C-alpha cells in the first residue's frame, strides 16, 4: 500500500511539513508498517514555497544581505540546488509587506530592487533555471526594480534614471539593456502566479492590491497609469526582443497584475513564463512521479473552499493525480458540499474541528487533530476493504 501525503500549510497552525507529519502519523496508527508513506509537503507559490522546494531538493536555504521594498538593508533567504543549476527565490523575503510594517507604507516608492539583488546572486552562482515566487509583495513597480538590479536602465526623456518604484513608471521613455546581466537571458525563468488579475484597470494590480499596500485612491490612479505606460514602452520601445510579444494586450492580460505587475518586465525582457503557483511546486518537487502507483493520496489546508480549486495546493494535487487514485482532503474547515467535493475529483473531505469553530483556537492541538482525523479516515477505509 503506497500512500502519498501532500498538504499545504494550515495557516497560523501548522507548516506544510508539520501537517504532512501529522497525517503520516495518523496513517501509521491504523496501517502500521504495511503502508509505504511518501511525504511531499506542498505550497502554492506564495509563503512557504521556498522551504517546501528547498526540502524537496534536500538543501538548506542560504541567507544574504539585500534591501527591503524601501531600500533598507535586510537579510533574505534563497534556495539553490546542490548542482547549482536550479534556484528558488521567494520575492517576499525582500519586498514583502511584513518587512515594511514598522513604517508608514510608501506605495509609490516601494520597489523590487531587493528581489533583483537575490536574482543577481543566483545568476552569479551559475543558476540556469530560476523559480520566482512573487506573493505577499509591498510593491507596484512592474518589476522595474528587479530588472534595475540586473543592470537594466529605465530612462526619462533626458536620459536619466527614473525614480524608483511606481512613481517613476510614467516618466520612462526608453530602456537601456546594454548592461543587463550576461546570464539573465540565458536562464529559464518561471514565475509562480496565484491570481489572474490583469496588469491595469478596475481589476488590475493597483486597483485590486494597491490599497493593502498603502495606496490612496489618488495613488492607485498614478500607479495604474504608470503600469499601462510601462507596458506600452516595453512594446513600442523595447519591442519585446526576446519573445516576440505580438501586441500590448499580451503584456496586460490575466496574471500580469500579480505582485504589483512584477511579471510584465520579466516576460517582456527575459522571456519569463508565468505558471500557476501550485503547478510550479508540483513540477519542482516531482509530485506526479511520487503519486504514480499510489493507493491513496492525502492533501489538505486550513480551509477547503471554492478558492482551493482555483490554482491552490489541492487543485494542483488533483491535477497531478492519476484518475483511479482516491484523494482525501483533511482541512481545518470544509466549506464545500459533498457534491461539490466529488465534482472536484475529491473522494472525501474531513474537518479536524469537532464543530463550528475558528481554526486558530485549535493551534495547540492542530497536529493531534490532523493525526486523529487521518487515522479516522484510514479506519473507515480499512473497514471497507
Domains of the chain: 2-42+287-384 (3.40.50.10350), 49-278 (3.90.1510.10)
Report which of 312, 256, 243 is spatially closest to residue 134, judged by C-alpha positions: 256
The average pLDDT across 352-361 equals 59
The average pLDDT across 147-176 equals 97
For 129-161, what is each residue's pLDDT tens digit? Answer: 999 999 889 999 999 999 999 999 999 999 999
String of DSSP letters for 80-149: E-TTSSEEEEETHHHHBGGGGTTS---TTT--SHHHHHHHHHHHHTT-SEEEEE--SB---STTHHHHHH
pLDDT of residue 350: 95
Q: Using 50, 70 and 90 to split pLDDT, how confident is the model at 361?
A: low
Residue 109 has pLDDT above 60, yes or no: yes
pLDDT of residue 240: 47
The torsion region of residue 12 among left (phi > 0), alpha (psi -120 to 50) and beta comes to: left
**Contact (Cβ atoms closer than 8 angstroms) between residue 328 and residue 298:** yes
Whole-prediction pTM value? 0.85
Mean pLDDT of the chain: 91
pLDDT of residue 312: 87
The average pLDDT across 278-286 equals 89
For 185-217, what is each residue's pLDDT tens digit? Answer: 999 999 998 788 999 999 999 999 999 999 999
Residue 354 has pLDDT above 80, yes or no: no
For 56-106, what is each residue's pLDDT tens digit? Answer: 899 999 999 999 999 999 999 999 999 999 999 999 999 999 999 999 999
Amino acid at each position: 500500500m503506497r500512500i502519498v501525503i501532500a498538504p499545504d500549510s494550515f495557516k497560523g497552525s501548522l507548516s506544510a511539513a508539520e501537517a504532512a507529519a501529522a497525517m503520516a502519523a495518523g496513517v501509521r496508527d491504523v496501517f502500521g508498517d504495511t503502508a509505504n508513506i511518501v511525504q511531499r509537503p506542498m505550497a502554492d507559490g506564495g509563503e512557504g514555497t521556498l522551504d517546501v522546494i528547498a526540502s524537496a531538493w534536500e538543501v538548506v536555504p542560504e541567507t544574504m544581505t539585500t534591501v527591503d521594498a524601501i531600500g533598507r538593508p535586510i537579510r533574505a533567504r534563497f534556495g539553490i540546488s546542490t548542482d547549482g543549476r536550479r534556484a528558488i527565490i521567494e520575492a517576499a523575503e525582500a519586498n514583502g509587506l511584513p518587512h515594511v510594517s514598522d513604517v508608514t507604507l510608501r506605495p509609490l516608492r516601494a520597489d523590487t530592487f531587493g528581489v533583483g539583488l537575490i536574482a543577481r546572486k543566483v545568476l552569479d552562482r551559475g543558476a540556469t533555471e530560476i523559480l520566482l515566487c512573487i506573493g505577499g509583495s509591498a510593491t507596484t513597480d512592474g518589476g522595474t526594480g528587479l530588472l534595475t538590479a540586473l543592470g537594466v536602465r529605465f530612462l526619462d526623456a533626458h536620459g536619466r534614471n527614473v525614480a524608483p518604484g511606481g512613481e517613476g513608471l510614467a516618466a520612462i521613455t526608453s530602456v537601456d539593456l546594454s548592461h543587463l546581466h550576461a546570464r539573465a537571458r540565458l536562464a529559464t525563468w518561471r514565475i509562480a502566479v496565484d491570481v489572474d488579475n490583469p496588469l491595469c484597470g478596475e481589476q488590475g494590480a493597483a486597483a485590486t492590491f494597491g490599497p493593502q499596500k498603502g495606496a490612496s485612491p489618488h495613488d492607485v490612479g498614478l500607479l495604474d497609469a504608470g503600469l499601462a505606460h510601462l507596458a506600452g514602452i516595453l512594446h513600442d520601445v523595447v519591442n519585446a526582443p526576446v519573445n516576440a510579444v505580438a501586441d500590448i494586450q499580451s503584456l496586460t492580460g490575466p496574471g500580469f497584475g500579480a505582485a504589483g505587475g512584477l511579471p510584465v518586465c520579466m516576460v517582456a525582457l527575459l522571456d519569463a513564463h508565468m505558471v500557476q503557483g501550485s503547478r510550479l511546486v508540483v513540477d519542482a518537487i516531482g509530485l506526479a512521479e511520487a503519486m504514480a502507483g499510489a493507493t491513496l493520496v492525502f492533501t489538505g489546508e486550513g480551509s477547503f473552499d471554492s478558492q482551493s480549486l482555483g490554482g491552490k495546493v489541492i487543485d494542483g494535487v488533483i491535477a497531478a493525480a492519476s484518475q483511479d487514485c482516491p484523494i482525501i482532503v483533511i482541512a481545518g474547515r470544509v466549506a464545500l458540499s459533498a457534491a461539490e467535493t466529488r465534482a472536484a475529483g475529491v473522494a472525501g473531505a474531513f474537518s479536524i474541528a469537532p464543530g463550528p469553530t475558528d481554526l486558530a483556537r485549535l493551534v495547540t492541538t492542530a497536529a493531534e487533530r490532523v493525526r486523529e482525523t487521518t487515522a479516522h479516515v484510514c479506519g473507515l477505509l480499512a473497514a471497507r476493504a
